[in-house]
Chains A and B, each alone.
Chain A
Amino acid sequence: MQGAIPALPGIGLRFPHHRAVIAQRPRVAWFEVHSENYVGGGAAIRDLETIRRDYPVSLHGVGLSLGGADGLDAAHLGRIVRLAERIEPGLVSEHLSWSISEGHYLGDLLPLPLTEEALDVVCNNVDHFQEAMRCRILLENPSNYLQYRYSTVPESEFLSTVAQRTGCGILCDVNNIFVNAANHGWDAQAYLDALPPDDVKELHLAGHAVKSLSNGAVILIDDHGSQVDAAVWNLLGKAVQRFGPLPTLIEWDTNIPPLQALLEQANRAAVILAQPHRALAHADIA
C-alpha cells in the first residue's frame, strides 16, 4: 500500500471504530490517528498496522509541546520516530501550542503568547522535530479560549513565519479559525488570506460547542463532539478556493457516533473539494 495522502477527505481513526474499519474496509481515502495513542505495544498498534495495509495513514501528534520553552522531550520524540518507522505515514503533523512545563505534561493543547521569543522557541523545536523525523512536518493552527497580554504577532503571521523559517508546512484547521475568529473577534477570511497557499498541505474539520458564560457572552469550544457547523462548511469552501483541494480530515473525539456518521461528513467534504476553485483555474491558464 502506497502511503501518500491524497487530496480527498479522510477520517480521524478512534478506538471505537477499529473493529468496524477492519471488518468493513469502508470507502474512505485515508485515516489520521493521534500518534500518542499508538506508541505502546498491544491491540491498538496491531489494529493500526492492519488498517495501514489498506489505507494511507497520517500521524497527528498531540503531546510533543512544540511551543515548550524547555525544548522537546527526547524520550517522547524517540517514541514518535519509532512509530513513524513502523507505520510509514503519508503526513506527520503537530500543533502550534504547548503542553509540557517543568517536566509535567498537562494533557491539553495550551495557547502560546505570540511573541518574538515564542517564535524562536517554536522554530527551534520544529527544526529539531523535522531533523528527527527526516521529513517535512505540518504545523496546525490551534483553537484558543484566551489571549496573552504580551502577544504582538497575529497568529496567521506567526504560523507563516514558522513555515518560512523552518520549511515546515501548515495544517489549516478551518474549524479552529472559525472558533478563534468568534472568540477573539478576528476576521476568518483575512486569516485564510494571510496564509501562504504553497505551504498549506492539509485541512481539518470538526464540530464545536457553544458555551454561555456568566455575563451572557458566549464562547465557542472546540470539542470535536458534533457535526461540522454550517458556517464552517462555508469557510471550508473559501479555504478550498484559496488553497485548492487538499487532504481534508473529519475529526470527532467526544460523543463519538457510529462510523457511518463520519463517512457522511467525509462525503459532504468531498463535494466541496470537487468544486471549481482558483488554484485550478490558475493551473489551467498556465
Chain B
Amino acid sequence: MPTLRDIQRDVARSLLMPGDGAALAHIADDVIDTAERFDIYRNNVAITLIGALRLAYPAVDKLVGSDFFDGAARAFVARYPPRSACLDDYGDEFPDFLAAFPAAAALAYLADVARLEWTVNMALHAPDTPALRPDALTDLAAGEHGRVRFVPHPSVRLLPVRHPADAIWRAVLDGDAAALGSIAMTIEPSWLIVQRQASGIVVARLDEDEATWSNLLFSGAALGEIMPDEESARFVALLADHLAGGRFAGFDVVSGDGV
C-alpha cells in the first residue's frame, strides 16, 4: 500500500496537471467512473484558484474577457500552484506570467495593469499597523533630523510602470469606455505610489525625483543621506506629504557615528 504522502502527492499532481491520471489508481472502483469522480475535485480546485486570481485581477479579467482569463489562469495554476492557504496572497507571479504568455502578446500594457492590480491587492491586505503621527519629529533635537530613518507603512508600495496602467485600471474598473478610449497608449517609464487609506485604495503618480527620494525613504536611508543639495524645498514638501498621508509606520535615529 502506498504511503499517505505518496497518495497525496499523486492526487495533488493529478489535480493541477491536465492529463495526469496518477491519482485514479488510488480510487476505489464502483458504479461511477473513477475519472468522473476525480473530475469533481479538479473542477472545484479550478473554480477556487481561478476565482482567487479573478478577485485579485478584476481589471485584467475585464480587459481580456472571462474566457481568455480562465484559460490564462488555468495555465498559470498548473505552473504556479499556491504556496499558502491564504489565497489573498495567491498570484504574485501572474503579471510576469502574462508578460510571457504568447496569447496576450498583443496587449502590451496588460502586464503593467496586472502589476498595478497585484500592488493594490497587497495594499488591501497589508497588516493594520498604526501610522506614524505627522508631528512625531517635532520633539527631536536640531542635530538629529539628518539621522532619522523611516519605516514605511506596510500598505504603501512604489511601482515602476512603462504604460499608463493607472489610467487604464481606473477606466476599466469604472466601466468608462470613453475614458479608456482617450488614454494615450504611449510608453513612458513612470512611478506609481499605492496606499490603503481609511477611505480605500489611493493610486498616485510620482515624478522622477519624487520616486527616487521615496524609494530611499522607504528603504530606510537616513534623511541626511537623501536630502538633495538642490530642490530641497521639493524634498521637504514630499516628506511632509508622506507624513501627513500616513505613509510611515515609525522611525529611529541612527547613532552619531552611523552617518
Contacts and interface: CB of A to CB of B under 8 A. Distances in A.
Interface in A78-118: 79, 98-108, 110, 112-113, 115, 117-118
Interface string B39-76: 01100110011001000000000000000000000000
Interface string A51-76: 00000000000111101111001011
A256 interface: no
Contacts of B38: 146
B49 A107 contact: yes
B202 to A, nearest CB: 14
Nearest to A73: B85
B123 to A, nearest CB: 8
Contacts of B44: 107-108
Contacts of B3: 69, 117
A148 B41 contact: no
B82 A108 contact: no
Contact of B28 (A45, A102, A151): A151
B26 A100 contact: no
Interface in B3-53: 3-5, 7-9, 11-12, 15-16, 26-28, 31-34, 36-38, 40-41, 44-45, 48-49, 52
A41 B128 CA distance: 5
Given A106-B16, A110-B41, A121-B4, A146 B84 contact: no
Contact of B125 (A42, A69, A217): A42
Contact of B85 (A105, A113, A149): A105
B83 A219 contact: no
B72 to A, nearest CB: 17
A12 B121 CA distance: 25
B86 interface: yes
A215 interface: yes
A92 to B, nearest CB: 15
A77 B256 CA distance: 42
A230 interface: no
Interface string A119-139: 001000000000000000000
Size class of the B contact interface (CB-based, 8 Å) = 35 or more
Contacts of A115: 1, 4
A148 B85 contact: no
A101 B9 contact: yes
B54 to A, nearest CB: 13
A40 B86 contact: yes
A213 interface: yes
A214 interface: yes
A141 B74 CA distance: 30
A104 B11 contact: no
Contacts of B245: none
B9 A102 contact: yes
B31 to A, nearest CB: 6
A186 interface: no
Contacts of A41: 125-129, 154-155
B149 interface: no
Given A39-B86, A108-B48, A149-B27, A213 B32 contact: yes
A43 B199 CA distance: 10
B88 interface: yes
Contacts of B154: 41
B28 A64 contact: no
B224 interface: no
Interface in A31-45: 36-37, 39-43, 45
B211 interface: no
Contact of A69 (B8, B36, B82, B83): B8
A100 B86 CA distance: 12
Given A42-B128, A217-B32, A76 B86 contact: yes
Interface string A138-168: 0000000111111100000000000000000
A221 interface: yes
Nearest to B46: A107
The 3 closest A-B pairs by CB, nearest first: A63-B85, A40-B125, A107-B48
23 contacts: A41-B155, A42-B124, A42-B128, A69-B8, A76-B84, A102-B12, A104-B12, A104-B16, A104-B81, A104-B82, A105-B81, A105-B84, A107-B45, A110-B11, A121-B4, A146-B38, A149-B27, A149-B28, A150-B2, A150-B7, A213-B33, A215-B31, A219-B37
Interface of B: 1-5, 7-9, 11-12, 15-16, 26-28, 31-34, 36-38, 40-41, 44-45, 48-49, 52, 81-88, 124-129, 154-155, 196
Given A63-B86, A221-B40, 14 more contacts: A37-B88, A42-B125, A73-B84, A104-B12, A106-B16, A106-B82, A108-B41, A110-B41, A113-B4, A146-B37, A146-B38, A147-B28, A215-B31, A217-B31
